[in-house]
Amino acid sequence: MARLGAAVNLVTTDGTAGRHGMIASAVCSVTDEPPTILVCVNRKSAANGKLKANGSLCLNILTKNHRPVTDQFCDRSLSIDERFGEADRWTTLATGSPGLRGAAVILDCRIDEISEVGTHSVFFCHVIDVRLGEKEDALIYFDRSYHSLASLNEMP
């Protein structure tokens, strides 16, 4: 699966179970009507229980400029507060989830259904709000490392 390139996303949540965030690449669109995405999260992950308890998440689609954010959220020596860092980097969305200012796209979602498949929970999420950022080079994960794609601005 290391040879399957994927967009790099920061999944965030906040609510009764508390704030949490994780980097995810197992994410995709399910349907436009109703607008639905899916996010796969390992059942042993601390994020899994927080997402289930909070019932919502934000999918922040990252750009090449967010490479330091990926390091921050993957660093297990940092507390959740340290991972989130400066408060002015975030906006609070309708679900209560934190949205990353400057993300390529922010999708504020309500978790509608969860399927347990093998080692992972598959969260089916209804998109209730979309915020578009500036067009920047996309950040992808391929062959166990990060890469950026050519900017959409260069496309005809």
Pick the closest to residue 130 from 102, 154, 108 (CA basis).
108
The residue to which tokens 């598959």 are assigned: 122
Q: What is the CATH number of the domain that holds 20?
A: 2.30.110.10
Q: How far is CA 130 from CA 10, 19, 26, 61, in A?
A: 15, 20, 19, 11
CA pair distance 30, 37, nearest whole angstrom: 5
97 within a domain of the structure (yes/no): yes
| pLDDT at res. 150 | 66
Q: What average pLDDT does this structure show over 81-99?
A: 94
Which is more confident, 84 or 6? 84
Q: Indicate the pTM of the whole model.
A: 0.92
CA pair distance 66, 89, nearest whole angstrom: 12
| pLDDT at res. 125 | 98
Q: State the total domains in the chain.
A: 1
Check whether 155 has a pLDDT greater than 50.
no
Mean residue pLDDT across the chain: 92
Which is more confident, 56 or 135? 56
Q: What average pLDDT does this structure show over 115-127?
A: 98
19 within a domain of the structure (yes/no): yes
106 within a domain of the structure (yes/no): yes
121 within a domain of the structure (yes/no): yes
1 within a domain of the structure (yes/no): no
The residue to which tokens 């899994």 are assigned: 48
55 within a domain of the structure (yes/no): yes
Beta-carbon contacts of 95 under 8 Å, excluding residues fewer than 6 positions away, are: 15, 56, 57, 58, 108, 109, 110, 128
Check whether 46 has a pLDDT greater than 90.
yes
CA pair distance 149, 47, nearest whole angstrom: 28
Check whether 153 has a pLDDT greater than 60.
no
Neighbours of 71 (CB within 10 A): 13
12: containing domain: 6-154
